[in-house]
Structure 1
Amino acid sequence: MARQLIDLPTVFAALPYGLWDTIQTPSSDGPHWQNGVTWIERCPTGDTTYDECLSDLDSDATEPPPAPPAKTANVEQATRGAMPFTVYAEFECSPVGLGDAATVAGDALARVEQQQVETAFWTGVAGGQEVVYPHLASDGEEFDGQDILLQPVASPAVTGGADIAQALGALEQELADCYHGQGLIHVPRSALPTLAAWQLARLDDAGRLVTPAGNLIVAGSGYTGTAPDGNTPADGTTWIYATGAAFGYRSDVYVTPVRESLDRTSNTLRMLAERTYVIGFECCLLAAHIALGVPTE
């Protein structure tokens, strides 16, 4: 007697602290973002000055300061862009006994979507080609035909597999110098036990994973840990990255209608579910090579 065919009773839940959990999602204002987006980035350094009247002080205790220097531009401006990529899940099946094929296809996408998005954002690779801009692991700039910056270089804050406390401190200091606000620390999940052992990760009041400096930790299940040049690090080490705040757009899930999925020659369905993404970040792209492991003292 044949066993009964059932639907899985479990509800799939994506891992927490992933990339999409920690980025801002502005209004898309139409579908044109799916061709990519361009923005004017303004990253201020700032400066200080003093009132001119101080140079007129008549004091026996101190020499009055000279007239203040002229104020100069201290906001770096650049035109940057981000390109789209699509995550999909496809399977073949018999139409007999399948039930709601569209629901099955959507569920299949949900199970792999987060990991695939994070891998593409770390490596820049989609469909076997480096076409995802911007991404994390990068050792060279990329511009489009209009001289718009698509990909900055990941600037190493620490190399050589430093202990994670030293490396994270250097990374967060450079992030503070570059961005001046709450940024993102991108780590593969293999680094989480090390962060926990060194007490360098905690939950804030909103349930987000943060560093001692208050930057959000993105623990990507799809993050590969590779270096800016794409090389795999030595055993017991990994690369981590820091960026300014990130933003993203994503489409609704598109599922191919069943009537368009039927292959009548084989009487099978080729069900496809997909979603398009564009992800960008502000100002900084920094990297650090860290050693994994627990404190020895």
Structure 2
Amino acid sequence: MARQLIDLPAVFTPLPHGLWDTIQTPGTDGPHWQNGVTWIERCPTGDTTYDECLSVTGTGAPPEPPAKTPNVTQESRGATPFTVVAEFQCTPIGLGDAQSIAQDALDRVEQHQLENAFWTGVAADQAVVFPHLAADTEVLDGEVVLQTTASPVVTGADVAAALGALEQELANCYKGQGLIHVPRTALPTLAAWKLARLDDGGRLVTPNGNLIVAGGGYPGTGPDGAAPADGTTWIYATGAAFGYRSNVYFTQVRDSLNRATNTLRMQAERTYLIGFECCLLAAHIVLGVPTE
């Protein structure tokens, strides 16, 4: 007797604290961002001064304050789009369910593929995703900076020392709440060292209050793209990040029919663009629980 064919009863639930959950998603006025975007990046260092009439009891007046000088760097930065695709084959008999199946397939792979592309800079085996995390070369498009290099702040350190160094450099560079990007293999180590907690809004944060992006698609590779040694991983820090994504697009039946096999190649796809502010920093950490 043939077994009954049923619809899968389980509901797919993406893991929390991924990239799209953590970044800012501003609205758009149209689809033109899918050609890429450019913005003016301003990263201030700031300075201090004092009133030239100031007097200090017992020491007299201080010298005349130095002239004020520019302390905000400004440059044009840009980001390029990429597309996540899910494809399957079916017979024309199953056409009625094809779009829902394609949507379900995209739902299952979308977050992982988005995170992998943003970490590695690779889409369809080509280095075309800018900016991305694992980068050791600056990329320019004329005067527009598409990619900065990831500056390692520490290598081979325990996670507490490495995270502290990374967050200090982030504070020096960005001054506000940034993002700490970690592969999911690092989360148990962060938890063991009590370096990750949920804030009142349910977001995963460090003791300093930076948001943790735990990417299932983050491979943990270094700025040069090399895989980390066993028992270690790379983590990255950026300023606040933003992203755009399109609606889901499906192939048309007339474009997907393979007449030779009488099958349909159904696709669901969505285009993304991710950018971030000011900083790109890296740290190489040792995984494992505290020994003391």
TM above 0.5: yes
Pairing 1:222-261 to 2, within 5 Å after superposition = 222-261=217-256
Rounded Cα–Cα distance in structure 1 between residues aligned with 2:263 and 2:4: 21
Quote the residue 1:287 is aligned against. Answer: 282
Does residue 1:171 correspond to 2:166, yes or no? yes
Q: Structure 2: which 5+ runs fail to align?
A: none
Residues 264-273 or 174-183, more deviating: 264-273
Using the TM superposition, give the Cα deviation of residue 224 of structure 1 relative to its aligned residue in structure 2, in angstroms.
0.4
**1:126, 1:60 → 2: CA distance?**
65
Mapped to 1, the partners of 2:266 and 2:94 lie a distance apart of 15
Q: Aligned partners of 1:78, 1:20: CA distance in 2, in Å? A: 26
TM-aligned CA deviation for residue 63 of structure 1: 2.2
**Distance (whole Å) between structure 2 residues aligned to residue 65 and residue 277 of structure 1:** 55
Q: Which runs of 5+ in 1 are unaligned?
A: none
Q: Counterparts of 2:57 and 2:202 in 1: how far apart (Å)? A: 58
CA distance in 1, matches of 2:131, 2:120: 10
Task: Within 5 Å, give how 1:76-225 maps onto structure 2.
Answer: 76-97=73-94, 99-144=96-141, 146-159=142-155, 161-225=156-220
Identity %: 77
Is the contact between residue 102 and residue 258 of structure 1 (CA under 8 Å) also seen in structure 2?
A: no
* One of 251, 257, 263 as aligned partner of 2:258: 263
Aligned 8 A contact 1:119 1:222 in 2: yes
2:283 match: secondary structure:
strand
Task: Tell me how far apart the structure 1 counterparts of residues 260 and 61 of structure 2 sit (CA, whole Å).
Answer: 92
SS at match of 1:96: helix
Between the aligned partners of 1:180 and 1:53, the Cα distance in structure 2 is 31
Matched pairs, number: 292
CA distance in 2, matches of 1:152, 1:124: 12
What is the one-letter code of the residue matched to 1:41?
Answer: E
Q: Aligned residue for 1:42?
A: 42
Deviation string 1:160-185 (CA, Å, 9 cap, x unpaired) is x1000000000000000000000000
Separation (CA, whole Å) in 1 of partners of 2:229 and 2:79 = 31
- Supply the AA of the counterpart residue of 1:68: P
Deviation at 1:5, TM superposition (A): 2.2
Given the two structures, how large is their TM-score scaled by the length of structure 1?
0.96
Distance 1:237 1:102 in 2: 41
Q: Using the alignment, how far apart are the partners of 2:268 and 2:137 within structure 1?
A: 33
Q: Write out per-residue CA displacement over residues 236-283 of structure 1, whole angstroms, 9 at most, x where no aligned residue.
A: 000000000000000001011234322233221110000001100000
User: What SS does the aligned partner of 1:287 have?
Assistant: strand
Note if contact 2:130-2:147 (Cα within 8 Å) is conserved in structure 1. Answer: yes
CA deviation vs aligned residue, 1:163-213 (integer Å, no higher than 9, x gap): 000000000000000000000000000000000000000000000000000
Counterpart mapping for 1:8-87 below 5 A: 8-54=8-54, 57=55, 61-87=58-84
TM-score w.r.t. length of structure 2: 0.97
> Could you give the per-residue CA deviations for residues 112-142 of structure 1, whole angstroms, max 9, x where no partner exists?
0000000000000101011100000001100
Aligned residue for 2:208, secondary structure, equals: coil
Residues 42 and 75 in structure 2, CA contact (< 8 A), matched pair in contact too: yes
Change (3 A) 1:113 1:50: same
Tell me the C-alpha RMSD between the 2 structures: 1.2
CA distance in 2, matches of 1:26, 1:118: 19
Provide the C-alpha distance between the structure 1 equivalents of 2:115 and 2:2, rounded to a whole number of angstroms.
41
Other structure's SS at 2:220 match:
coil
User: Is 1:102–1:257's contact at 8 Å kept on the other side of the alignment?
Assistant: no
Cα 1:63/1:292, change in 2 over 3 Å: same
